[in-house]
Amino acid sequence: MGCSSGGKQGLREAQKFPADYDGIVAGAPANYWTHLVTQSVWVAAGDAQGSGELHPSRKYAVRAPAGRSFRASRSEAERGWAALAGGPRPLSIAEDHFKYVVFKNPDWDFKTLDFDRDLDLADRIDRDFELNANDPNLQAFATRVGKILMCTAGTIS
């Protein structure tokens, strides 16, 4: 049982070692790691540009569930993005992933992120590291009648 990275580890366990457990609880799994860390860096890089324009990472990021509306004041939205992006910098774990895993350069500057090129590179590098747990093939786990309970928060207040 685990949440976030622990949820990711649970899914990874079912994907790679299906005979280890009969049941797994994967709460809010951070299973597409390379995309999660890229998102944090991308938002911070867009904010660092300071153009006053809405950065592409923010255009469609908040969607209300069907039949509901979402209204946040500018200060609420800014506080939310600041927490998500780690303030004026990306979350340190996201920045470190690019510095030490992707580019192997402790001086890498997050403002130089090229979304398409660098996300593709992070995904290619992950084939060796296997930090992502996004393989949809759980046939071996299901054949053993393994069960996964996966949950995530619908709203945070």
Query: Domains of the chain: which residue ranges?
Result: 1-31+133-157, 32-131
Radius of gyration for the alpha carbons in the chain, expressed in angstroms and rounded: 18
The residues near 37 (Cβ < 8 Å, ≥ 6 apart) are 90, 91, 93, 94, 97, 98, 122
Q: Where are the beta strands (DSSP E) in 28-146?
A: none
Q: How far is CA 140 from the centre of its chain?
A: 26
pLDDT of residue 141: 94
pLDDT of residue 155: 55
pLDDT of residue 19: 95
pLDDT of residue 62: 46
Nearest in space to 12 (alpha carbons), one of 123, 135, 94, 101: 135
Q: Which segments of the chain have a pLDDT < 50? A: 52-55, 57, 59-64, 70, 72, 85
pLDDT of residue 70: 46
- 23-57, pLDDT tens digit by residue? 999 988 988 999 989 988 887 777 666 554 444 54
Work out the end-to-end distance of the chain between its first and last CA atoms, rounded to an integer number of angstroms: 24
Distance separating alpha carbons of residues 152 and 157, to the nearest angstrom: 14
Strand pairing class (23-27; 2-3): parallel
pLDDT of residue 61: 47
